Amino acid sequence: MTVLVECYPDAAVLRSLGVTKRQLRHERCKGEVVKRVLKLDYAVGVIDEDPGSAQPRDLANYDEVQADGGLRLLVRRGSAERRLIVVCPRLEDWLIRRAKESGIRLQDYDLPSDPHRLHGIPHYEDRQSFQ
Domain identity same for 11 and 72: yes
Q: What is the structure's pLDDT at 29?
A: 94
Q: What is the structure's pLDDT at 11?
A: 93
Domain identity same for 54 and 105: no
Domain identity same for 86 and 37: yes
CA distances from 99 to 66, 81, 87, 114 (A): 22, 31, 15, 12
Q: What's phi and psi for 87, nearest 5 deg?
A: -90, 125
pTM recorded for the entire structure: 0.92
Number of domains, the chain: 2
Domain identity same for 31 and 81: yes
Domain identity same for 51 and 109: no
Domain identity same for 24 and 51: yes
Domain identity same for 78 and 96: no
Residues 81-112 have pLDDT tens digits of 999 999 999 999 999 999 999 999 999 988 89
Buried b (16+ CB within 10 A) or exposed e, 36-74: ebeeeeebbbbbbbeeeeeebeeeebbeeeeeeebebbb
Q: Read off the pLDDT band of 50 (50, 70, 90).
A: very high
Domain identity same for 56 and 97: no
Domain identity same for 86 and 98: no
Domain identity same for 44 and 104: no
Residue 128 has pLDDT above 80, yes or no: no
Domain that holds residue 26: 2-90
Region 49-71: mean pLDDT is 96
